[in-house]
Chains A and B, each alone.
Chain A
């Protein structure tokens, strides 16, 4: 199958026909509107290697994320970055190409932190392998992590090796009523203490906090922090991760603001859901793009038009120097510009 992928890429390069790489289609809403001919690669699937005691899984990019999670769960392990699925069809390749992470991110790390190695095809159809299946590897530039979140604009992902972690022995979710300002202060105060935190969020007057670890450790931390136990809590965190929570079902555009976690509540007209201990603010608003971006920039972060009908200016524009560097990098991987052109920025 790799040979046929290579042929497709080489032909696309020769004919200057842009391709729009697709997997499960679960994140078709994300990023700028695809421009090229659809090139579906979801059939390249299956787990290649999984040794639980190595804490590494290697799978083909078309493998359904649900399949990977089931394989890991059978060994009591997990993807610690808690990736969102946004549908049943989502693939490993799409997950890594989009680089999205769930509620555990500020405490466990993002998708890119768990990528150990990648086999891919660049825009010339050359098969390349970067990183590996070991935890520590400093040979060559860290291309695997650079490809994570690059929205398929640099290379077609074939196989991905990820670091996996044991599932915690137990999890407890505590909640309490408070204001947004107080919630941000509390979330950051706790994050600065040696507590087994694995998620904190705030919405509609309720601060929710998840503890993960040994039974004894979680119990002691729960007593120290206090608050009401949410039971069961799995659906709550899953609904947040999958954007099934009522907050996300609004018709208004959904913005994602990534800001320093201790940033005070942003004064923006609209509804806010604070996740990642304050570092990720979901906002549904009809405000113009410039107003939302200005608020994010003023706080030292950036804003992404995550889900909306306007697919033009999705990601925060890059400063000129960085954009030029992005263009040169894109060219180094994909000189003919056939891989998902325009999906991230019009200029890439």
Chain B
């Protein structure tokens, strides 16, 4: 069936406003926040009801047309990149919070609801939704589930997979599956875990029930400066060794400190080799006890300067620098390139030293911001795409960095997902038998391979170089969003 005929078929089954097919209407859907990759879908369907989603999926599976589901389009790995002969299924109109169950501390929501709006709706009851990816003002909960989104509070509160209870899912044939329940567990296999982070390859999410937690009574931040990255690394391990799980624990190296300080004046000591930001939350008594303890630990680890936030405004100011890290890079350099590897923390100093060595070797500056609590490293390589050969050198350097992450026992992606971007790097992390098992799982859900084809799990034929996120002149799609 031709694209035009299939579009007519969609139009004959769905209301006028639900199907877009004119080229100018399709353009906004060509890419997600990884704008280096673009495809025009044959049509965009924006359903308003569960029945319309079902109809769309049935038509697609009967006619063997691929389907790519899209939430808010804020993903950084090209997970919502359309396929040219397929339908892009936007869940944007599924934007209602269906129920806040204060007794059971859950929220039942549609997948297009933004992450932050769940916490906003729960706030009057003293509750919130814990995972807080930096794009939380815009990213949708359906997308969060598809990517297993994290945030800066993961070490203490977990990722999306640890904070959801139930999903309504439509299979590619349009069959409805209820996965999980309002109880804490369900009979059978843990399909909730399998669906979370499956990047739209296994089913289309039409409803999500998330857990809500009590809003911590208070939070305070310690800002500690160190004269070596090793000492800051010791500060991190010593904190954990002392029995504290901070709500957030972030590290910035000297190039990153200088870059952000120039940009936002957060009060960071620009001569420090590294700083740590450590947030403690809980009841007033717990926080005061642990802040004292963390301060002691940092001093013992060799902190040369220590500041504790005295009020909410100061806490926000301490964080402002960290949150400005990405935009600050855009001011320093025409282009930057962001990596997303996770490493065991004990290798931090070695990995940073090795990154420093590579930076000199390739003659490209690198700033490091690091979710030190959970080992998630974001090296930002500064380059200029207008200089011949610099982009290629940057990609090669980025590849080397990810190789180091895998070599020390880490992973190629901590929180941005594989999508299109890191599909080749999957070949380094997994062997043929493992990839074959992944494909067999996919087969169990989607026999015709119609859901988000070509993403997340590479075919055995496809093993090439690493890729990563490119930003030209600081212009990330959704520039209004914080990225950290």
A-side residues, CB < 8 A to B, are 51-56, 76, 99, 105-106, 109-110, 112-113, 122, 126-130, 132-143, 145-146, 148-150, 154, 165-167, 169, 188, 191-196, 213-217, 219-221, 258-262, 276, 279-280, 300-302, 304, 315-316, 318-319, 321-322, 325-326, 328-329, 331-333, 344-345
Contacts and interface: CB of A to CB of B under 8 A. Distances in A.
A194 B441 contact: no
A194 B282 contact: yes
A136 B342 contact: yes
Given A132-B410, A262-B103, A332-B441, A141 B198 contact: yes
B126 A126 contact: no
B305 interface: no
Contacts of A132: 409-411
B289 A260 contact: no
Contacts of A326: 188-189
Nearest to A148: B190
B418 A139 contact: yes
B187 interface: yes
A136 B150 contact: yes
B218 to A, nearest CB: 9
Interface string B90-110: 000000000001111110000
B113 to A, nearest CB: 21
A30 B283 CA distance: 40
The 10 closest A-B pairs by CB, nearest first: A217-B286, A145-B193, A262-B103, A166-B243, A332-B440, A328-B444, A135-B374, A301-B183, A53-B237, A136-B414
B251 to A, nearest CB: 15
B444 A136 contact: no
28 contacts: A52-B240, A53-B241, A53-B346, A55-B240, A110-B185, A128-B437, A133-B344, A136-B342, A136-B375, A136-B411, A136-B415, A138-B413, A138-B418, A139-B413, A140-B438, A146-B189, A192-B125, A193-B214, A219-B285, A258-B186, A261-B184, A279-B184, A302-B181, A321-B177, A322-B178, A325-B177, A328-B444, A345-B188
A217 B184 CA distance: 27
Interface of B: 101-106, 125-127, 147-148, 150, 154-155, 158-159, 161-162, 171, 175-179, 181-191, 193-194, 196-198, 202, 214-217, 237-238, 240-241, 243-245, 282-286, 288-290, 342-346, 371, 373-376, 409-418, 422, 426, 429-430, 433-434, 437-438, 440-441, 443-445, 456-457
Given A315-B188, A321-B175, A332-B443, 20 more contacts: A53-B237, A54-B240, A112-B190, A128-B434, A135-B374, A136-B415, A137-B342, A138-B147, A139-B413, A139-B429, A141-B197, A142-B196, A143-B438, A192-B105, A194-B217, A196-B282, A219-B285, A220-B285, A221-B285, A318-B187
A139 B374 contact: no
A142 B148 contact: yes
Contacts of A141: 194, 197-198, 202, 438, 441, 457
A162 to B, nearest CB: 14
Contacts of B288: 216
